[in-house]
Amino acid sequence: MSSPTELSRRDLLRNAVIGGGAAFAFGTFCPARAASAIPQVKPEEIQLDPRRLQVAYDLLEKWTTGPNAPVPGGAILIGRFGKTVAPRFFGRQGPEPDAEPIRDDAMFYMASVTKPVIFMAGMLLVERGQLNLSDRVTRYIPEFTGQDKEKAQVLHLFTHTSGLPDELPRNGDLRREQAPLAKFIEEVIKTELLFVPGTQFSYSSSGTILVAEIVQRLSGRSIRDFVREEIITPLGLKSTGLGSQGFARERLVRTTVPDYQVGSPGNWNSAYWQEFGSPAGGLFSTPQDYAVICSLMLGGGKWGDVRLLSPATVRMMTTNRMNDLPELPEPVRRTQPWGLGWRQNHLGTTDSWSDLLSRRVFGHTGSAGNVVWMDPETQGFCIVFTNYLRARAPWRLVHLSNAVAAAFV
């Protein structure tokens, strides 16, 4: 049987010969035109209580005010029914005490809120008959071998049950060396597993990098190009990129960095890392752009005139897939629901997004102080982007989410 890479080259050649009219059939989706910008309305027009919404605004205003503010800066954008209220911006563009006021065109570092976009890229290949989630990873990456790796399915990568660690053992070294993505991929492929795939849950940035490599091998394109051509451009996102190339650096929000990154040439605010575009956490975006992604998911894969994903794909991505793993412990399946790339609310645990949101709510958080969630029951969504370290006070995002959830009437 031909390898995935060989199949990709053949398909690319067929695309070139046949032309754009049949491009979708062979993996290059070219919509007739990009989607339009998301409309802004008053809160009452989308059944939001403005007084309750103000509670969230007041909280972030308080936390971003003054020389010793615990949160340097941030933004809140709330939407419903494919529309949003106007975004609100707070604080400073960076963590420095003398940092400039935050810009209204600020592009935030998404950190792990990048991951659902990478998994979305993988699901596009599933829809096109190029990728099977039930396949062994070795079908697409033959050199991923040794120590139970032959048991790893692509599904395990999507649900963080592969056994791959979160960060690579040499993550800090690779950043200091300013290594390219290919080096990170090489390290992931040879990294030992923490457990037998499918038997435990352990959040894994490394697994997301491996999904990106599968997309690269099957499509014959870099993950940056694939995301831009297949997701960003069709949705008309003008201020979003996997990596910051092409955008003015003064628009990029500088975030508080972890202790291990202080003084490193590979820290989150370095030109190297901003331009790197890590599949595990390298997306830059604005609240307005990411609102389109939220509306797309709540719209069953359609935004404006663009049908990017099928309703079946969205259902599988946003419902608990942990029940599909027979060897996973029951408490994990019950209390830590995950879809395919999107997480669901973990009620009763320390990483819950809100006490007022059900387990049907899906979204993602980012270590740079971000949370995005969507509620299929209310058709509402919440975007909170900040530049403080979430790990230092995860409860701040929960307080904000509680206030926002209470505003839906």
Q: Where are the domains of the chain?
A: 4-16+43-405
Helix (H, G, I), strand (E, B) or coil at 164: coil
CB 385 within 8 A of CB 367: no
Residue the block writes with tokens 């609310």: 345
pLDDT greater than 90 at residue 11: no
Mean pLDDT of 48-72: 96
Identify the pLDDT of residue 67. 80
Mean pLDDT of 14-30: 34
Identify the pLDDT of residue 409. 94
Give the mean pLDDT of the chain: 91
Give 141's pLDDT tier (boundaries 50, 70, 90): very high
Q: What is the pLDDT of residues 339-370, one digit of tens each?
A: 999 999 999 888 889 999 999 999 999 999 99
CB 377 within 8 A of CB 360: yes
CA pair distance 405, 388, nearest whole angstrom: 22
CA pair distance 9, 246, nearest whole angstrom: 28
pTM score above 0.85: yes
Q: Which two tokens stand for residue 67?
A: 């020389």
Radius of gyration of the chain (CA): 20
Of 225, 221, 218, 166, whose CA–CA distance to 191 is shortest? 166
pLDDT greater than 80 at residue 3: no
* DSSP codes, 204-256: -HHHHHHHHHHHHHHHSS-HHHHHIIIIITTTT-TT-EES-TTS-GGGBPP-P
Identify the pLDDT of residue 36. 61
Mean pLDDT of 189-215: 98
Mean pLDDT of 233-262: 96
pLDDT greater than 50 at residue 233: yes
DSSP type of residue 101: B
Mean pLDDT of 115-133: 98
Stated as kind and residue range, the H or E segment containing 364 is strand 362-366
By DSSP bridging, strand 241-242 and strand 302-303 are unpaired
Q: What is the pLDDT of residues 252-281, one digit of tens each?
A: 999 999 998 998 899 999 999 999 999 999
Contacts of residue 312, Cβ cutoff 8 Å, sequence gap at least 6: none
Q: Which amino acid is at 286?
A: T
Identify the pLDDT of residue 277. 97
Identify the pLDDT of residue 184. 97
Mean pLDDT of 160-174: 95
Identify the pLDDT of residue 9. 37
By DSSP bridging, strand 73-80 and strand 108-109 are unpaired
Identify the pLDDT of residue 348. 84
Identify the pLDDT of residue 25. 33
Mean pLDDT of 136-165: 97
Identify the pLDDT of residue 35. 57
Helix (H, G, I), strand (E, B) or coil at 282: coil
Mean pLDDT of 76-87: 97
Question: What is the phi/psi pair of residue 332, to 5°?
Answer: -70, -45
Helix, strand, coil proportions of the chain in percent (round to 5)?
Answer: 40, 15, 45
Of 194, 202, 196, whose CA–CA distance to 338 is shortest? 202
CA pair distance 149, 145, nearest whole angstrom: 5
CB 308 within 8 A of CB 234: yes
Instruction: Pick 146 or 16 by higher pLDDT.
Output: 146
Helix (H, G, I), strand (E, B) or coil at 181: helix
For domain 4-16+43-405, the CATH class is alpha beta
pLDDT greater than 70 at residue 6: no
Mean pLDDT of 185-214: 98
pLDDT greater than 60 at residue 12: no
CA pair distance 10, 250, nearest whole angstrom: 42
pLDDT greater than 50 at residue 2: no
Question: What is the phi/psi pair of residue 91, to 5°?
Answer: 75, -140
